[in-house]
Each structure stands twice: as C-alpha cells, then as structure tokens.
Amino acid sequence: MGQSTNGMLVYGYDLGGEEEWKIREAGEYGELPPLDWFDPDNEEGDGFQEAAERRLLAQLADFTETDWRADGYFEREREAKARLGVEFDTYCSGDYPMYLLAAKVITVYRGSAEEIDMTELAIAPEMNGWDEKLNAAVQALGITPTQDKPKWLLCSYWG
C-alpha cells in the first residue's frame, strides 16, 4: 500500500477541521457550534462530511432517500449530487482531515503534472455560477466561512 501525496487546486471555501474550524460560528477554542444536522459527539453517527452532504442533498436537491439497497438509488443520488454543483473534499491528511466545500476540484496525483489555463480559471466561477451554488450550500448548512468569499485555494493531501 502506497502513500498518496496529492496537490489540489480548489475553488470554494476552506472550512478547517477538528483542530480549528474556519467558520464564524466556531466556539472559543475553534470547535464546531451546535448544528441541528450534525452531532460530533455521536460516535455511532456519520462524520462531518457525510452529515453535511446528506444535509445539502436534502435541502438543495430534494434527495432524502436512505435505503441504498433500493433499485436505482445510486443513480438518483449521483443525479442529486450533480444538481448541487458543489462537493466536499479533504486536504491535510487522512488521519487529520480538513474540509473544503468546493465548486471545482483539480487534483494532481503524485508523479503527475496537469496543465492549467489561468485565463479559463479566472472566468470559470462567474461563467458557471459557482459563487451562488457555494453560498446556497453554506446557508443550507447554517455556517459562515471565515473567508469573505469563495476563492481559489491551493492545498495538499498526504494519506
């Protein structure tokens, strides 16, 4: 089993993680505030990313199914995720993930290089309505990122 060391260029919000959440509602020590859709103390429940995705699917894409054994479940879920226009990803490491809410993720895997058209990157957020999609997502989650607006973020992942 190898070690992943990836570079990521992401358009969206850096939400931080357990060590320090990068949202305005975070507590005095950077902890998550009470959220009606996630309980960090429930060890039986989903993690932050899974709970947040479920919240967005329900609130913004009207997808509330939970029975993954039902015929066509994964296809309906995939279509609902596409309607969102945003996704969660992680950076830092697999053991200590930090979360990104993104409209676009470009991942370059170890040993690879990817050509980036900076002119295309500059116009992509407006052309694709990414800011509106990201803002709808943070509103549905009931959080306010500490970033003043979505931005291009360069991140790394080791895991």
Per-residue pLDDT of the chain (159 residues; tens, 9 = 90+): 556 789 999 999 999 998 899 999 999 998 998 899 998 777 666 789 999 999 999 999 999 999 999 999 999 999 999 999 999 999 998 889 999 999 999 999 988 999 999 999 999 999 999 999 999 999 999 999 999 999 999 999 987
**Confidence (pLDDT) at 58:** 97
Domain boundaries, the chain: 5-158
| Cβ pair 21, 30 in contact under 8 A | yes
Task: Check: CB of residue 56 under 8 Å from CB of residue 86.
Answer: yes
Residue 89: predicted pLDDT? 95
The pLDDT of residue 49 is 94
- pLDDT at position 45 is 67
- Run of H or E including 9: strand 5-17
The pLDDT value given to residue 42: 75
What φ, ψ does residue 36 adopt, rounded to 5°?
-70, -10
